[in-house]
Amino acid sequence: MTVNERQAANVIRLAASRVEEIVRGRFQEIDVTAEINQSRVLESFRKHRVSEAHFYPSTGYGYDDEGREVLEKIYADVFATEDAIVRPQIVSGTHAIATVLFALLSPGDGLLYITGKPYDTLLKVIGSNDQKSGTLLDLGINFQTTPLHDDGTINKKEVTRLLKENVKVVAIQRSRGYAERPALTVEDIAEMISFIRRQNKDVIIFVDNCYGEFVETKEPTHVGANIMAGSLIKNPGGGLAKTGGYIVGRGDLIARCADRLTAPGIGKETGAMLYSLLDMYQGFFLAPHVVSQALKGAVFTAALLEELGFHTAPRWRERRGDIVQTVRFQSKEELLAFCRQIQAYSPVNSFVQPMPAALPGYADPVIMAAGTFVQGASSEFSADAPIRPPYTAYVQGGLTYEHVKIAIQHAVRAVLQNSL
Ligand SMILES: *Cc1c(COP(=O)(O)O)cnc(C)c1O
417 or 109: which leads in pLDDT: 109
State the average pLDDT over residues 160-171. 96
Query: Could you tell which of 90, 115, 189, 210 is best to mutate to test the pocket of ligand 1, judged by most ligand atoms within 8 Å of the CB?
Result: 210
Distance 62 CA to ligand 1 centre (A): 28
Q: Distance, CA 51 to ligand 1 centroid (Å)?
A: 32
Report in angstroms the alpha-carbon separations of 294 from 2, 40, 383, 399: 33, 20, 13, 7
Nearest CA owner, ligand 1 atom 2: 210
Q: Choose one of 208, 235, 247, 359 to mutate for the ligand 1 pocket test, by most ligand atoms within 8 angstroms of C-beta.
A: 208
Residue 364 has pLDDT above 90, yes or no: no
Q: Given a cut of 90, is residue 320 above it in pLDDT? A: yes
Is the pTM value of this prediction over 0.95?
A: yes
Handedness of CA 21, 23, 25, 31 (dihedral sign): negative
Mean pLDDT of the chain: 96
Report pLDDT for 1: 72
Separation of alpha carbons 46 and 18, rounded Å = 42
pLDDT for position 5: 83
Question: What mean pLDDT comes out for the span 43-57?
Answer: 98
Side chain identity at residue 34, one-letter code? A
Q: Which of 379, 288, 293 is nearest to 37 (CA)?
A: 288
Q: How far is the CA of 6 from the centre of ligand 1 (A)?
A: 40
Q: Are 229 and 209 in contact (CB under 8 A)?
A: yes
- Predicted confidence at residue 405, as pLDDT, reads 97
Strands (E), 242-300: 245-249
Residues touching ligand 1 (Cβ under 6 Å) are: 92-94, 119, 121, 173, 175, 177, 208, 210-211, 231
Q: Pick the residue whose CA is nearest to atom 14 on ligand 1.
A: 210
- The per-residue pLDDT for 417 is 86
State the Cα–Cα distance between residues 196 and 232, nearest whole angstrom: 29
Task: Measure 199 CA to ligand 1 centroid, in angstroms.
Answer: 29
Atom of ligand 1 nearest to the CA of 324: 15
Question: Residue 43 to residues 49, 78, 281: CA-CA distances in angstroms?
Answer: 10, 9, 14
Q: What HEC string does 17-51 produce?
A: HHHHHHCHHHHHHHHHHHHHHHHHHHHHHHHCCCC
Nearest CA to ligand 1 atom 4: 93
Q: Whose CA is nearest to atom 12 of ligand 1?
A: 210
Pocket test for ligand 1, best of 92, 120, 121, 207 (most atoms within 8 A of CB): 121
Residue 227 phi/psi, 5-degree rounding, is -155, 150
Of ligand 1's listed atoms, the one at least distance from the Cα of 93 is 9
User: Ligand 1 centroid vs 75 CA: distance in angstroms?
Assistant: 19
Residue 246: phi and psi, rounded to 5, are -135, 155
C-alpha 243 – ligand 1 centre gap (Å): 13
* pLDDT digit string, tens, across residues 7-26: 888 989 999 999 999 999 99
* Mean pLDDT value across residues 360-389: 91
pLDDT reading at 263 higher than 80 = yes
Backbone angles phi, psi at 157, to 5 degrees: -65, -45
For residues 48-84, b (16+ Cβ closer than 10 Å) or e, as one string?
eebeeebbeebeeebeebebbebbbbbbbbbbebebb
CA distance 330 to 311: 10
Q: From ligand 1's centre to the CA of 209, what distance in Å? A: 9
Residue 138 CB partners (closer than 8 Å, separation 6+): 127, 132
Of the listed ranges 275-284, 290-299, 382-391, the one predicted with least confidence? 382-391
For residue 415, the CA-to-ligand 1 centroid distance in Å is: 29
Q: Which residues contact 32 (CB under 8 A, 6 or more apart)?
A: none
CA 279 – CA 292 distance, rounded (Å): 19
Q: What is the pLDDT of residues 113-158, one digit of tens each?
A: 999 999 989 999 999 999 999 999 999 999 999 999 988 899 999 9
CA-based radius of gyration for the chain: 22
Query: Of 130-134, 178-182, 212-216, 272-276, where does mean pLDDT reach its minimum?
Result: 178-182
Q: What is the DSSP string of 111-173?
A: EEETTSSPPHHHHHHH--SSS-TTSTTTTT-EEEE-PPPTTS---HHHHHHHHTTTEEEEEEE
Question: Is the confidence at residue 266, as pLDDT, over 80?
Answer: yes
Taking the C-alpha atoms of residue 287 and residue 293, their distance in angstroms, rounded to an integer, is 10
- The ligand 1 atom nearest the CA atom of 245: 9
Q: What is the pLDDT of residue 361?
A: 63
Strands 204-208 and 167-173: parallel
Q: DSSP letter at 357?
A: B
Q: Is the pLDDT of residue 411 over 70?
A: yes
What's the one-letter identity of residue 224? Answer: G
pLDDT above 90 covers a percentage of the chain that reads: 92
* Alpha-carbon gap, residue 210 to 269, rounded angstroms: 26
* CA of residue 4 to ligand 1 center, whole Å: 40
**Percent of the chain with pLDDT strictly greater than 70:** 100
Q: Whose CA is nearest to atom 6 of ligand 1?
A: 93
- Region 248-262: mean pLDDT is 98
Three-class secondary structure assignment of 42-108:
HHHHHHCCCCHHHHCCECCCCCCCHHHHHHHHHHHHHCCCCEEEEECCCCCHHHHHHHHHHHHCCCC
- Burial class, 144, CB count within 10 angstroms (exposed 0-12 / middle 13-18 / buried 19+): middle
Task: Give residue 420's pLDDT.
Answer: 62
CA of 31 to the centre of ligand 1 (A): 26
CA of 229 to the centre of ligand 1 (A): 10
